[in-house]
Amino acid sequence: MNIEQIYTGCLAQGAYYITSNGEAVIIDPLREINPYLERAEKDGVKIKYIFETHFHADFVSGHVDLAKATGASIVYGPTAVPEFDAIIATDNQEFKVGDITFKVLHTPGHTMESTCYLLKDASGKDVALFSGDTLFLGDVGRPDLAQKAAHMTQEELAGLLYDSLYNKIMPLADDVTVYPAHGAGSACGKNMMKETVDTLGNQKKMNYALNQPTKGAFVVAVTDGLLPPPGYFGMNVAMNKKGYDSFESVLNQGLTAIKPAEFEAVADSTGSLILDTRDNGDFAKGFVPQSINIGLNGDFAPWVGALIIDVKQPILLVVDKGREEETVTRLSRVGFDNILGYLEGSFDAWKAAGFEVDTVNRITPTEFEAKVKIGEDKVVDVRKESEYAAEHIDEAYNKPLAYINEWIKDVNPSEHFFMHCAGGYRSMMAASILQARGYRNFTEVEGGFSAISKTTSLPKTDYVCQSKMMTV
């Protein structure tokens, strides 16, 4: 028996490849399936089942393509209603794979169909729990995502989650290894550990959700402090439930090279969003007008989902040469399939052809210190609320990037402001969105709060002024 966690950092997502005696199972596979096919061929095993823990909201699973390519059966837990062929397992149903057995544990709460898979070795001993989004390390799945589909409140779903955890999972032995679907950084929870594997015994000791004195206390604890889910989540659920275009067809379309002379015309005729995935420093120096910058060297796919939202939006790419396939692949993982192609030769070719170029007004922290008058000039901090609360520049306003589609309408275009994030990645995203919508009354600070703290003596505070967080 072999268990392998295939962890994708930018999504904070764990897929699993388990083999036993010539057979294999894939749990919660990513969109691109070739790595699984190549691994199975190398190991000389047949993929027998594709276990899905639920209809994922934060990424598009590769279950449909993988089933077509291998003949493996897709398995969901009770109450799932997919629009393609699948086995809908009953609670406690068992599936044999080589010399091992997987037992279905229906654990509703995160979603109604949420299911964990308990692995038993050849002797029948419980060895591992593939817990999906039911149990994370340090946290549990958020109970607010399935409210509409379940016709329940988040409190009612949290109550179901309590029953699932305390009646189905807590009684398992302490030495069972927990393999969750996500780790720190995922929007599917709020308090996950950076580790991606742990024992159930340790989780029983340190996971706040597993140490609540009552069901009521559990409901309060897991629903407290939940941020609004990213807007693309519902569309990813629909794709996972209904099916989708093959990854190969998405990739082939996305790898269409478009010459600079044609690029703008294609954008205009299709209503495409121009997505520039270069590093923020390169983007600031020059870009195709109206482009949105979301750098590939960062939490690329989640930010695309959070800021663009509509997975059907036509997209044209400006990417560093040689990274075209990586970009299309990472977009497809979160359901952005309508990629019409990329700028051939990247931005250098556009500039060399003599087409119009835009820039962002970016200054260094030293220049910022020389220019800003604290208490008089407006400073906008686009970091998360928790980062701002920990420490921020005196008198700065907190306007998190995740909510830019809401707060941008309150920006006064006639009043100048300085803007920064932690390191320049998020503030350049905000700058590109502002300029694409006609706002140019700002100056972005290179290197963000980290560089400001290291190279300037500007006054800082950890006092959170609620009015500064909510109004500009």
On the question of pLDDT at 470 being above 70, the answer is no
Per-residue pLDDT tens over the stretch 445-465: 999 999 999 999 999 987 655
Share of the chain above pLDDT 70, in %: 98
Q: What does the block give as tokens for 36?
A: 């699984």
Q: Does residue 262 contact residue 271 with C-beta atoms inside 8 Å?
A: no
Per-residue pLDDT tens over the stretch 307-336: 998 999 999 999 999 999 999 999 999 999
Per-residue pLDDT tens over the stretch 352-406: 999 999 999 999 999 999 999 999 999 999 999 989 999 999 999 999 999 999 9
Domains of the chain listed by start with CATH number? 2-234 (3.60.15.10), 245-352 (3.40.250.10), 362-470 (3.40.250.10)
Per-residue pLDDT tens over the stretch 180-200: 999 998 888 888 999 999 999
Question: Sheet containing 13-20: which strands, arranged edge to edge?
Answer: 2-8, 13-20, 23-27, 46-51, 73-76, 87-88
Q: So what's the pLDDT on residue 243?
A: 95
Q: So what's the pLDDT on residue 467?
A: 43
Return the half-sphere exposure (C-beta side, CA atoms, 13 A cut-off) of residue 361: 13
Which amino acid makes up residue 429? M
Q: Which residues contact 456 (CB under 8 A, 6 or more apart)?
A: 365, 366, 368, 369
Provide the b/e sequence for 284-319 (b: ≥16 CB within 10 Å).
Answer: beebbeebbbbbbebbbbbbbbbbbeebeebbbbbb
Q: Does residue 382 contact residue 425 with C-beta atoms inside 8 Å?
A: no
HEC letters along 169-236? HCCCCCCCEEEECECCCCCCCCCCCCCCCEEHHHHHHHCHHHHCCCHHHHHHHHHCCCCCCCCCHHHH
Q: Which residues contact 322 (CB under 8 A, 6 or more apart)?
A: none
Report the alpha-carbon distance of residue 216 to residue 230 in Å, rounded: 27
Q: So what's the pLDDT on residue 408?
A: 95
Place of tokens 């420490």: 391
Report the alpha-carbon distance of residue 356 to residue 369 in Å, rounded: 32
